[in-house]
Amino acid sequence: MANDKKVQSITDIEVDFAQWYTDVCRKAELVEYASVKGFTILRPYGYAIWENMQSIMDAEFKKTGHVNVAMPVLIPESLLKREGELVEGFAPECAWVTHGGGEKLEERLAFRPTSETMFCDHWSNILQSYRELPMLYNQWCSVIRWEKTTRPFLRSREFWWQEGHTIHETAEEAIAETEQQLNCYADFYENVLAIPVVKGRKTDKEKFAGAEATYTVECMMKDRKALQGATSHYFGDKFSRAYDVTFTGRDNTIQYPHQTSWGSTTRMIGAVIMTHGDNNGLVLPPKIAPIQVIVLPIAQHKPGVLEGANALKDRLVKAGLRVKLDDSDNSMGWKCAEYEMKGVPLRVECGPRDLENNQCVLVRRHDGEKIAVSLDDLETAVQEQLVLIQKGMYDKAKENLTQHTYEAHSLEEAKKLQSENGGFIKTMWCGDVECEKRMKDEAGMSSRCMPLEQEHLGDVCPICGKPAKKMIYWGVAY
């Protein structure tokens, strides 16, 4: 029942995953393409999801002392270029402003691809004493990176995100911040988005340009490809030195603060789509769903029905839920399909027969289960279901992750597992970038991360045979 195809306008997930994804994005009215390639319009429904994500995350950031700021959108070229690795990493994908008011600028300006440079520049002007540390900043904004291949949410030339930037008196504090924010992301993914993650450290090849260490949460999509969910970076004092950010320490010497940055983007919406979605469209976890409950009156022109349905809606709103009642003249079938496409977690059906029996019918989006409940218990029953749905969605995604994480002891085995099953392949690794490149060339997989929770799978690197240093996850990534 749950897998019955009810929405005809969305390509089947088994037929063409990429097309299915695009169909969902558009049929659920999340995005529309804009007139410049790689730029998308986040439509009200899509933006509402983002707003829910934002408000939950923002509250978490504030709990740990972070404050929001707003930095300029343009970076002078000379400022951007002060740190070599960052320039190398980002310059190729910068968009540049060369003219202002019709006149050519003396120095061209980059649209921010990320804002480390501006935070550093700002700090170099305001920081004086260790007493002012740490500075725990965050900003919600969009950035521009001139990507060649673009897809809604997953890779666009402009994307919305939050970027946290902090400076600390000591390396230990900065490292602790990096870990804290990584855990913040992991918790958000698991508890809010209902997406299980693998927490780990990126290899030098995959880490952020200019970072000392990059930590990541990696998740697995329904097509078993990997998606980098969010990253948290430790910079040491590299940027501080490059941008001359200094403070007077407790011992009255000039010191360089230790820095972190961490970011998560609207890509998380893509992760939700590809983790939970099905052939009927989007499936949203209750915690971020713009509409948690859709109330559908049946035969609404019959006396008492609409009134009954409205009363029911009012009770749920009063209980603190995000509820909508659709009393449009569309047919029942149309409405069911519409809210399934949009991923509304719970549908409440309320018709003449139900009202006669003092009941209504709850239908769960993620598994199609129907439950008749007495109107006496409406609020508790609905709230209970939303909790169960949130958990049910996580469990289902966790099963996909666990089932498709494999262990390999040779390059051949890794190749075979990848081509037959997809998913994550875990192996030991010597730490050599050459082995990483070989895995990419021969098996098509990049390293995802070295999980924080290490397992001992053997003593040697399966690629080169040298002694192994770490257990590492591989996968085909978005």
Partner RNA sequence: CCGGGUGUGGCGAAGUUUGGUAUCGCGCUUGACUGGGGGUCAAGAGGCCGUGGGUUCAAGUCCCGCCACUCGGACCA
Chain residues that interact with RNA, rule: CB under 7 A: 6-10, 18, 22, 27, 33, 36-38, 92-93, 145, 147-151, 153-157, 159, 208, 228, 230-231, 263, 265-267, 280, 298-301, 329-334, 336-338, 340-341, 349-354, 361, 363, 368, 444, 477-478
Smallest gap from Cβ 273 to RNA, in A, equals 13
Smallest gap from Cβ 300 to RNA, in A, equals 6
Q: Which is nearer to RNA, 332 or 457 (CB)?
A: 332
Q: Which is nearer to RNA, 61 or 208 (CB)?
A: 208
Q: Which is nearer to RNA, 116 or 169 (CB)?
A: 116
Smallest gap from Cβ 225 to RNA, in A, equals 10
HEC assignment per residue over the chain: CCCCCCCCCCCCCCCCHHHHHHHHHHHCCCEEECCCCCCEEECHHHHHHHHHHHHHHHHHHHHCCCEECCCCCEEEHHHHCCCHHHHHHHHHHCCEEEEECCEEEEEEEEECCCCHHHHHHHHHHHCCEHHHCCEEEEEEEEEECCCCCCECCCECCEEEEEEEEEEECCHHHHHHHHHHHHHHHHHHHHHHCCCCCEEEECCCCCCCCCCCEEEEEEEECCCCCEEEEEEEEEEECHHHHHHCCCEECCCCCEECCEEEEEEEECHHHHHHHHHHCECCECCCCCCCCCCCEEEEECCCCCCCHHHHHHHHHHHHHHCCCCEEECCCCCCHHHHHHHHHHCCCCEEEEECHHHHHCCEEEEEECCCCCEEEEEHHHHHHHHHHHHHHHHHHHHHHHHHHHHHCEEECCCHHHHHHHHHHHCCEEEEEECCCHHHHHHHHHHHCCEEEEEECCCCCCCCECCCCCCECCEEEEEECEC
Closest among 369, 344, 365, 338 to 10, alpha carbons compared: 338
Smallest gap from Cβ 411 to RNA, in A, equals 17
Smallest gap from Cβ 228 to RNA, in A, equals 4
Smallest gap from Cβ 60 to RNA, in A, equals 19
Q: Which is nearer to RNA, 249 or 352 (CB)?
A: 352
Smallest gap from Cβ 58 to RNA, in A, equals 19
* Six token digits for residue 383: 């709230």
Q: Which is nearer to RNA, 302 or 409 (CB)?
A: 302
Smallest gap from Cβ 241 to RNA, in A, equals 22
Smallest gap from Cβ 261 to RNA, in A, equals 11
Smallest gap from Cβ 280 to RNA, in A, equals 6
Q: Which is nearer to RNA, 18 or 67 (CB)?
A: 18
Closest among 399, 364, 361 to 280, alpha carbons compared: 364
Q: Which is nearer to RNA, 369 or 407 (CB)?
A: 369
Q: Which is nearer to RNA, 158 or 169 (CB)?
A: 158
Q: Count other Cβ atoms within 10 Å, centred on residue 406.
A: 19
* Six token digits for residue 287: 């915690």
Q: Which is nearer to RNA, 134 or 351 (CB)?
A: 351
Smallest gap from Cβ 282 to RNA, in A, equals 12
* Six token digits for residue 373: 């409940």
Q: Which is nearer to RNA, 136 or 346 (CB)?
A: 346
Q: Which is nearer to RNA, 127 or 362 (CB)?
A: 362
